[in-house]
Structure 1
Amino acid sequence: MRAQPPLILLRMTLRDKGAVVLKRYQPLLQEMEITLQMHPHQAILNAVPLPLRQQNLQNLISDLLGYRHGETSVTHHQVAV
């Protein structure tokens, strides 16, 4: 799959937990072609796999970070589920 820019630029405000979780899982997300640019309290979504472009990406990324924030190790399969 090739990463594509999202249909609408997405900037997400990150609270402390969200920033920590995003930093922890950023390499895994990059392997899955989800590219985020990190700033101190903000993340900008630069690219996603083509099938995800039609999704509500703000909810998808927020839910993913919230769902996995307590995990110490996450696999591709767990992210996909």
Structure 2
Amino acid sequence: MIILRFLVLLFNVVVITLLVYNMIQLYKRDIPSSKKNVIWFAGGVLLIVPLAIIFGIIPFSMVYLLIYPVAVSFFIYLIREEKVL
């Protein structure tokens, strides 16, 4: 269980770094503010969830391990698609 918790923590560090980087890149782009606000809100929620689990506000579960990577992947996909438009 300790190894699993360490791997989840390592995964969270990588994901948080990637999310922060993408949100900084989003700030530099010229897109409508309504789209930018939605992306900032979604990114903020995705940044808060791992911290809530680390601090014990939300209990750690297998659902988190299944849903969080999909949510992050979808978020990054939406940001990448925004670059194309």
Instruction: Report the structure number with the largest CA radius of gyration.
Output: 2
Do the two structures share a fold, i.e. TM-score over 0.5? no
Please give the TM-score of this superposition, normalised by the length of structure 2.
Answer: 0.30
Higher strand share: 1
Q: Which has the higher helix share?
A: 2
